[in-house]
């Protein structure tokens, strides 16, 4: 959710989207209803009365109170951003102000344009675009890696009224052999623990999956290499372990599992179609690219099936890396300055030293 003001500060423009169909409708409703209004008009709205005023208290909204809270939180987020934009406008010269110079409403991102040749400026530290998710249950499992991306994902869900339960997956080498490749899971665990503590002691649990990772990913990779083929272990890890074994372990305990991937899972419009499974609203799920073409990770998620995509959610999938870093700075996350790693643990320390600006 992004909020901008016109040059003369007389109008508010709201833009955003979501990877859940109902939430997408709520965001669109707010965007259309508030865009063009004055800052004063937006700030006068009572967020808690909006659902009743619009007749949205019954039906699906009543079955899933999180949706009512989500709508209220969207309004609150817009109001907070309007205040921030007004504060920026009144600040001395030198403090950046994010405005809509064309005085026209920004369009919703559907198919991000090719990456620009120049590096875009980071958003103001005052701007935190929050995601407007709405799920049938308010408890969401978050796979926390100890990096900045999954840390921000956890906070985005939490700030929308959901109750994240964090899980750290140990996916390489038995504990007594971990020193051989210097895979710093203990360091990752330390960061993950610090993030959860800062977020209000969010429950965090380590799930040992070394044996499963070896059997389903490493052994297969080695065998394929012997045959002269080059499988991608990250693709296998996502489909067979993170969204495979973890689902098997958790069963139906969580309707949604969130990760810090730069991708989007979007229900198809109209329903039906092949592929099996499908979104909660009936249509098959579609794996869509992130606006950040450099950080986009849809390739590594390309083997997820419909059942896996239906339960997956990617809270940071709407944003670019520089925005995630800015959010981490504003939230003062323990991971805000931590560099990104390649994440292929069994390649050893040298691979991790070649830390690219890649996702988790």
pLDDT above 90 for 261: yes
Kindly report which listed range (5-19, 105-119, 320-334) carries the lowest average pLDDT score: 105-119
Put simply, whether the predicted model's pTM sits higher than 0.95 gets the answer no
Is 45 within 8 Å of 75 (Cβ atoms)?
yes
Is 132 within 8 Å of 160 (Cβ atoms)?
yes
pLDDT digits (tens, 9 = 90+) for 46-89: 888 776 666 565 554 454 444 456 677 788 878 888 887 787 77
pLDDT score recorded for residue 98: 31
Catalytic machinery residues: 237, 345
Q: Which of 48-52, 126-130, 354-358 has maximum average pLDDT? A: 48-52
Edge-first strand order for the sheet with 139-143 is: 204-208, 163-170, 139-143, 257-258, 312-313
Q: How many helices (H) and strands (E) does the chain have?
A: 14, 10
pLDDT score recorded for residue 63: 47
**For residues 328-333, average pLDDT:** 96
d(CA 317, CA 360): 12
pLDDT score recorded for residue 17: 55
**For residues 165-181, average pLDDT:** 69
Q: DSSP labels for 309-336?
A: HHHEE-TTTTS-HHHHHHHHHHHT-TTT
pLDDT score recorded for residue 305: 95
Residues in a beta bridge with 216: none
In the chain, the N- to C-terminal Cα span, in Å, equals 22
Is 15 within 8 Å of 24 (Cβ atoms)?
no
Is 175 within 8 Å of 158 (Cβ atoms)?
no
Is 162 within 8 Å of 133 (Cβ atoms)?
yes
d(CA 50, CA 52): 5
d(CA 137, CA 64): 7
pLDDT score recorded for residue 282: 56
Kindly report which listed range (18-27, 237-246, 296-305, 317-326) carries the lowest average pLDDT score: 18-27
């Amino acid at each position: 959710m992004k909020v901008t003001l016109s040059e003369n500060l007389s109008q508010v423009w709201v833009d955003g989207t979501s990877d859940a169909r109902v939430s997408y409708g709520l965001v669109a409703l707010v965007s259309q209803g508030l865009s063009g209004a004055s800052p004063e008009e937006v700030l006068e709205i009572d967020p808690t009365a909006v659902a009743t005023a619009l007749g949205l208290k019954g039906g699906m909204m009543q079955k899933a109170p999180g949706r009512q809270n989500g709508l209220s939180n969207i309004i609150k987020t817009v109001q907070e951003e309007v205040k921030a934009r007004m504060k920026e406008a009144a600040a001395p010269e030198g403090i950046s102000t994010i405005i809509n110079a064309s005085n026209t409403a920004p369009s919703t991102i559907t198919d991000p344009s090719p990456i620009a040749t120049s590096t875009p400026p980071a958003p103001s530290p005052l701007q935190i675009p929050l995601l407007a998710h709405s799920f049938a249950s308010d408890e969401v499992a978050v796979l926390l890696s100890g990096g900045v991306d999954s840390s921000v994902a956890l906070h985005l869900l939490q700030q929308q009224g959901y109750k994240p339960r964090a899980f750290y997956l140990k996916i390489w080498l038995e504990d007594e052999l971990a020193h051989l490749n210097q895979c710093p899971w203990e360091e990752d665990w330390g960061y993950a623990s610090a993030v959860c503590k800062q977020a209000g002691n969010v429950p965090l649990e380590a799930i040992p999956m070394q044996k499963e990772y070896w059997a389903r990913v490493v052994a297969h990779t080695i065998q394929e290499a012997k045959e002269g083929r080059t499988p991608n272990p990250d693709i296998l890890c996502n489909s067979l372990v993170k969204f495979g074994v973890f689902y098997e372990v958790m069963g139906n305990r969580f309707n949604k599992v969130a990760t810090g991937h730069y991708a989007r899972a979007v229900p198809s419009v109209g329903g039906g179609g092949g592929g099996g499974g499908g979104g909660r609203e009936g249509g098959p799920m579609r794996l869509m690219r992130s606006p950040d073409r450099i950080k986009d990770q849809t390739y590594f998620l390309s083997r997820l099936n419909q059942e896996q995509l239906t339960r997956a959610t990617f809270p940071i999938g709407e944003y670019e890396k520089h925005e995630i870093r800015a959010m981490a700075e504003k939230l003062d996350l323990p991971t805000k300055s931590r560099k990104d790693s390649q994440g292929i643990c069994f390649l050893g320390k040298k691979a991790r030293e070649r830390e690219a600006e890649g996702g988790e």
